Structure 1
């Protein structure tokens, strides 16, 4: 019954496309059939078939394991309920080359495309809920070396350092020599990932629509398109396949696509660089949170807001995006700061309540 309820919910609130029987992905651990525009040459990797997942705020991998244990406890491993591909991340780890190599190798053996998240920049999250990262630039570059060498020229999508470029716009977060060091580290990462060849597709993170365009999306009150394009250029976007948008955010795919198109135009006009983009759709099924009764409040909730819902599953993009991906693990908390609902788990901690709320849209 639980499995059927989720499938029914996704049919009602998913992509708006007719659902078929020929192609199976999953959401929150449950098998869902759909027919929608998809790249016939790309199949995303099933995490359960690979080695231990890496993705958490601290890089330990416990987030996806908790999600999988919860899913399996509720639904059982051998029922028809399958598994949804999620972005697999790499945080601090002494064996990052082996971890990435094992994961990418498992994908290659199955003819599938792995999605990885590199999230280990020094001063990560400006000391906020997801703080951490490498101790210094030298250690970060050594870590990136291992990360890139683990890919070893095989097909992979890499989401590079969520928030690192957007937060570089804030002098209270990073400035002076530290800012120049951040540019240098991101340039180095793009350079060494690009050296893995054309099958490695790196998307340097570009924040989200509100962060850059402001609450009214009119390019005032935020970082600004020109400033974001400059920051991305300083960080080596010319060597990347493109940018990632809306990671761990809730904006609708339409809003993120509009932002992606405007940002790509700005980068092209200012620096002559062609840019594509991917969107995190894991939690954007109901779009961004708006204060009840105040439709003009815009996107105001960034930490475990109520009423959000799973977005469309990983697939080739529509509306300009190259891919739509589940990057943020559904059910992982955004944090437990005063801005978050009372009782929220720490950032990166998996919560069955948050996962079920995303299923129900409650």
Structure 2
């Protein structure tokens, strides 16, 4: 998989001088949640979720490599990642081959694909995950190919992490705002032409845009009324309890829209203390609730691992570039997991 997948960014608000993005908003002082009952690593994980498990993920390849090297204990721990569903981030350029691979595998397994469309022009305001389509025409072509290759496969798409919150925090330049909203709205419509595709527009996280009402107007202009809902906490570490509370408030303001929460790395909540770098490869974090559509909350359609655990947030704290696999960090997340 290519690098632009990790979702760190920097909040360009001089008054706060804090780093923020879907993976980089300052962290509230929330306590980690109690976890569901523990399962031995690698045991029965696939059958507990309706979502597709990627047999070619970096984690799966790392498990195989460690087993070949005799590192069986570490390999077994890492199965807490490798044997669970994670989102596939559509590659830049031509997303078709990778989505077709995933589509075939998911259909054979009778599972639902979880995908991320992350290629909006002027992505991430030039920060760690900068890039995206070169212009509006290129994006329309890319999202068309993205949707075409899903076809009628059962899929859930998280649409453009950060794109709407960056409109609210002032990061996105004024000259790009209307175009971005138009492209997002068109993307919702294109994806929803697929009869089995659900679409969730990204809405950041509770620590990024503290007042959810500020997101309502841009979300609707981005097509929320035709989407299935919104996503929260993509690549971030906010506790699920905070996400549920924030999501419920945003749902109320958007006429009852449902939402999904990224729980990939929120098992111990956000890093306390160094708030300016809490988003970027924070030490001591843990895997969160495994992916499931059995959330026990009528507004929360799923807990998902949108961020692939073990992929770097950027070149901070000794990490590789954004989106690159970091086995030592992955192993730490898995070791500290309680489920």
TM-score by length of 1: 0.75
**Contact kept in structure 2, 1:18 and 1:35, CA below 8 Å:** no
The whole-number CA distance in structure 1 between the counterparts of 2:233 and 2:166 is 14
**Contact kept in structure 2, 1:315 and 1:323, CA below 8 Å:** yes
The whole-number CA distance in structure 1 between the counterparts of 2:43 and 2:33 is 11
Going from structure 1 to structure 2, the CA distance change for 1:180 and 1:111 (only over 3 Å counts) comes to: same
Equivalent in 43, 53, 64 of residue 50 of structure 2: 43
Match of 1:91? 91
Match of 1:350? 325
What per-residue deviation string (whole Å, max 9, x for no partner) do you get for residues 92-149 of structure 1? 122x234323322321222111111111111111110001110000010011111111
Match of 1:105? 104
The whole-number CA distance in structure 2 between the counterparts of 1:358 and 1:243 is 26
Structure 2 regions of 5+ residues with no counterpart? Answer: 1-31
Structure 1 regions of 5+ residues with no counterpart? Answer: 1-12, 21-25, 53-63, 214-223, 269-273
**Contact kept in structure 2, 1:285 and 1:310, CA below 8 Å:** yes
What per-residue deviation string (whole Å, max 9, x for no partner) do you get for residues 208-248 of structure 1? 001121xxxxxxxxxx3222111111110111111110000
The whole-number CA distance in structure 2 between the counterparts of 1:345 and 1:98 is 26
| Secondary structure, counterpart of 1:277 in structure 2 | strand
| Secondary structure, counterpart of 1:168 in structure 2 | helix
Match of 2:65? 73
Equivalent in 37, 42, 67 of residue 31 of structure 1: 42
| Secondary structure, counterpart of 2:260 in structure 1 | strand
Equivalent in 180, 188, 200 of residue 186 of structure 2: 188
Residues 1:332 and 2:311 are matched in the alignment: yes
The whole-number CA distance in structure 2 between the counterparts of 1:99 and 1:126 is 26
Going from structure 1 to structure 2, the CA distance change for 1:181 and 1:307 (only over 3 Å counts) comes to: same
Higher relative contact order (CA 8 A, sep 6+): 2
What per-residue deviation string (whole Å, max 9, x for no partner) do you get for residues 181-208 of structure 1? 00011001000111112x2111111100
Match of 2:283? 306
**Contact kept in structure 2, 1:121 and 1:133, CA below 8 Å:** yes
What per-residue deviation string (whole Å, max 9, x for no partner) do you get for residues 249-271 of structure 1? 00111111111101111112xxx
| Secondary structure, counterpart of 2:198 in structure 1 | strand
The whole-number CA distance in structure 2 between the counterparts of 1:130 and 1:207 is 15
Going from structure 1 to structure 2, the CA distance change for 1:234 and 1:70 (only over 3 Å counts) comes to: same
**Contact kept in structure 2, 1:168 and 1:179, CA below 8 Å:** yes
Quote the offset at 1:14 in angstroms: 8.9
**Contact kept in structure 2, 1:100 and 1:147, CA below 8 Å:** yes
Deviates more, 1:155-164 or 1:318-327: 318-327
The whole-number CA distance in structure 1 between the counterparts of 2:282 and 2:127 is 18
Quote the offset at 1:85 in angstroms: 1.4
- Mapping 1:267-306, distance limit 5 Å: 267-268=254-255, 274-291=256-273, 301-306=278-283
Moved segments of 4+, more than 6 Å: 77-80
Quote the offset at 1:300 in angstroms: 6.6
Residues 1:120 and 2:116 are matched in the alignment: no
Match of 2:15? none
- Mapping 1:202-351, distance limit 5 Å: 202-213=199-210, 224-268=211-255, 274-291=256-273, 301-316=278-293, 317-319=295-297, 320-336=299-315, 340-341=316-317, 343-351=318-326
Going from structure 1 to structure 2, the CA distance change for 1:227 and 1:156 (only over 3 Å counts) comes to: same
Going from structure 1 to structure 2, the CA distance change for 1:109 and 1:360 (only over 3 Å counts) comes to: closer
The whole-number CA distance in structure 1 between the counterparts of 2:115 and 2:93 is 14
**Contact kept in structure 1, 2:271 and 2:285, CA below 8 Å:** yes
**Contact kept in structure 2, 1:288 and 1:300, CA below 8 Å:** no
